[in-house]
Amino acid sequence: MLLVITTLQLNKVKKSLSKIILNAKRLILREAEILDSQFFYELLNSAKWLKYIGDRGIKSLDDAEKYINDKLINSYTNNGFGLYVYELKESHTPIGICGFIKRDYLDSVDIGFALLPEYERKGYTFEISYSLMKHGRETLGLDKVVAITTKDNVASQELLKKLGFSFKSYINEPETNEQLLLYSSDVETR
């Protein structure tokens, strides 16, 4: 007997296996898992990811699995948070990532986000980032969150301002020495 599973059915099975972090109006934020390798392969090789975040060397699904395990799942274990997948509630289709990152060169956790290009300009990243900031304050007890972005990433700068972040200074990324913009938000006042 041959069992045929549709993409929608597979996404529902994946959802039931994932740890949900929060629900927003149209979205679910959940932990990434190895089954997300195709999504991460696409996202990390999208034009805007490569331009604004940089090449992470994800050239195969195996590379994507290693990235999920080494960067994301390890962060959940070691820090109690990390970058999460956000998906559409109705279809459980993964469309972006959003979460908190602990970088050695920043004095606070920073918020990060990225979205597949076909889902841009629909308010998804604001919706999930706003919910994540509330989660950070109420559940994780974060009293300060920062964010970094490149000088030419105007869309991220605008989103950060809409979330209540303000520009603080320029900093140099230690590995590349690229000058980045540092934003900060005192989440206790939100």
Partners of 159 in beta bridges: none
pLDDT of residue 83: 97
What's the angle, vertex CA 27, arms to CA 47 and CA 131, rounded to 5?
A: 95
Tokens of 70: 């080494």
Digit-coded pLDDT (tens) for 141-177: 999 999 999 999 999 999 999 999 999 999 999 988 9
Residue 128 to residue 87: CA distance in whole angstroms? 10
pTM of the model: 0.86
Tokens of 137: 């304050």
Mean pLDDT per 10-residue interval, the chain, length 190 residues: 51 61 96 97 97 94 97 95 97 97 94 97 97 94 95 96 96 92 72
Domains of the chain: 17-189 (3.40.630.30)
Q: Which of 65, 63, 73, 61 is nearest to 99 (CA)?
A: 73
pLDDT of residue 176: 87
